Amino acid sequence: MTDQQLPGPPEVAHEVFTGDAWSRAEAFAELLAGPGVVRGLLGPREVPRIWDRHLLNCAVVAEAIPSDARLVDIGSGAGLPGLVLAIVRPDVTVTLLEPLLRRTVFLEECVEALKLENVEVLRGRAEEFAGKREFDVASARAVAPLDRLLTWALPLLREGGELLAMKGERAAEELTAAETQLRSSGVRTAELVSVGHGKVEPPATLVRVVAGRAPMKASQASRRKDRASRSKRARGQ
């Protein structure tokens, strides 16, 4: 067991987690504070901050997610924010994507214990599923700098899908640093979004990137042009 005591939830938690979500949020907090810490998925010092820094901070991301979305949580770890989003948004289908076995085992146990029917746990890296799975939204928290995260997330998104990257005070700096890659990736928009006003302090900062269609490389465009030309000649014979 941990030597840190899990505090009771703040009053605002009752506004964020309603209905069935309330009992699931309480149960998940206990799982994080107990098995989550014992297995090294969460640091012992984080236990007093589970509600404020983790559960509530992740839950408010739901404000930015459209209805009935298919969401992939990249590098889900202990289920933050993916499991929390599944709890507060039962209309959203959540895929928890995580490469490490000990983490996927914990996530599967949580999904079973919380009786979440809108969640699947997928073991692997994002790049392994590019072109095989497609989602409306990709979420990520403390996984990688934005420029690297783009290379993992964008191939998993449909055209018009959104990456919601939870970032802290360096969000604007990361957005600027990724400017070249954003242009080359053909994204439609990239902006900072603030969620959770009146619920978490400070409000959570997201980098929201709307996926477009990546520009074809010159070699790909040339090959397509050659194929079209040969096809026209063939039809003319």
- Binding-site sequence positions: 75, 80, 126-127, 141
- Binding-site sequence positions for S-adenosyl-L-methionine: 75, 80, 126-127, 141
Is it true that the peptide bond before 202 is cis, omega within 30 degrees of 0? yes
